[in-house]
Amino acid sequence: MRFADKSIYADESILIPRKGSLNNLFYKNEPFWTVDTMFYTKINKHKVYPKFLFYQLTTIDYSNLNVGSAVPSLTVPVLNEIDILLPPLPEQIQIASILSSLDDKIDLLQRQNKTLEQLAETLFRQWFVEEAEWKGNLSEYVKVQGGYAFKSKDFKEIGFAGIIKITNISMEFIDINKSDFVDETVVENLDKRFKIKSGDFLIAMTGAEIGKIGIVEKTEKEIWVNQRVGKLEPKIPYGNIIGYLALKSREGQDHIINACSGSAQENISTNGIEEMVFASYNSEKANSFGRLSQPFFDKIIFNLNQIRTLTQLRDNLLPKLMSGEVRVKN
């Protein structure tokens, strides 16, 4: 985010992309300035509650309204033709309040997870960066297991086993809810080292996502890892936690960038990741750090599960409330 000395508008508004990622809408309730690739709205509050309008507009797929060729684009005339359902104002406020309360809970859990990660990262730097000489390698702590080369022809929208690809990885978590699937016959005889469990740490090894690393939330789903995604397998107790924090650190990300190869598409090997220069293994230090940091990650995994539940509830309620299928009583 960038800042300006003065605002272009100071009242509640919904920002809609003019070009680029057309479905990336924003609600603003503070003075703001926007770039020329975004529209902002002036809302008639006598007719529509601004937060309700925001939720209503997020139910639209704006890619269907695209008027651009090379770059996805929207225009004011196109936006002005959008029909929206407006219940009475008191009902709009109630609907927005329900959805906002879910968003607020999700945001609180996300911020809590960020704080927990920061606490773990602070401890990590104290124990393994500021008070340790880096004369060893990350391979003393973890083995990076590359994923299986699943065939694209086997992927389905619905199936027995979810397949985690590079696009499912962010710096905060692994999105297991938007994966492709394969039938049971594809994985029934597959080596279990390619299988994923709750609490695993996965890292992207190719392309624009290279170096992104996240944690797998609690799940009962059958999940497997695709090629060019690495899974951190601990060689010592808590080795995967230490490896995760090492690779997520500034030093770890620098190592990945410097160890990349490939011209058309950057990539790094499992060995290349393991070769990161790091503090020599000390069992007492590693175990003490692990015992201190493990509760942080247990809570993060618990929160991720809560976030997923609340997000699914919100996403299921949103279209039903907006269409009038589900009504709220005064």
pLDDT digits (tens, 9 = 90+) for 91-141: 999 999 999 999 999 999 999 999 999 999 999 999 999 877 889 999 999
Please say if the pLDDT value at position 173 is more than 90. Answer: no
Please enumerate in sequence order all residues whose Cβ is within 8 A of that of 232, keeping only pairs 6 or more positions apart, or say none.
142, 143, 144, 145, 200, 201, 202, 203, 239, 240, 243, 244, 247
Q: According to the model, what pLDDT value does residue 263 have?
A: 66
Please report which residue ranges of the chain form alpha helices under DSSP H: 50-57, 76-80, 89-128, 184-187, 239-248, 250-259, 270-274, 283-323
All CATH 3.90.220.20 domain ranges in the chain, comma separated:
13-86, 109-307
Please say if the pLDDT value at position 3 is more than 90. Answer: no
Dump pLDDT digits (tens) for 254-302: 999 999 887 678 899 999 999 999 999 999 999 999 999 999 999 999 9
Please enumerate in sequence order all residues whose Cβ is within 8 A of that of 298, keeping only pairs 6 or more positions apart, or say none.
none
The domain covering 13-86 belongs, at the CATH homologous superfamily level, to: DNA methylase specificity domains (3.90.220.20)
Angle at 301 between CA 250 and CA 136, to 5 degrees: 35
Identify the CATH number of the domain defined by range 109-307: 3.90.220.20
The upper half-sphere exposure of residue 289, i.e. CA atoms within 13 Å in the direction of its Cβ, equals 28
Inter-CA distances, 102 with 97, 109, 232, 281, Å: 9, 11, 33, 44
Please say if the pLDDT value at position 315 is more than 80. Answer: yes
- The pTM (predicted TM-score) of the whole model is 0.89
Q: What are the tokens at 273?
A: 């990741």
Pair 132, 284: CB distance under 8 Å: no
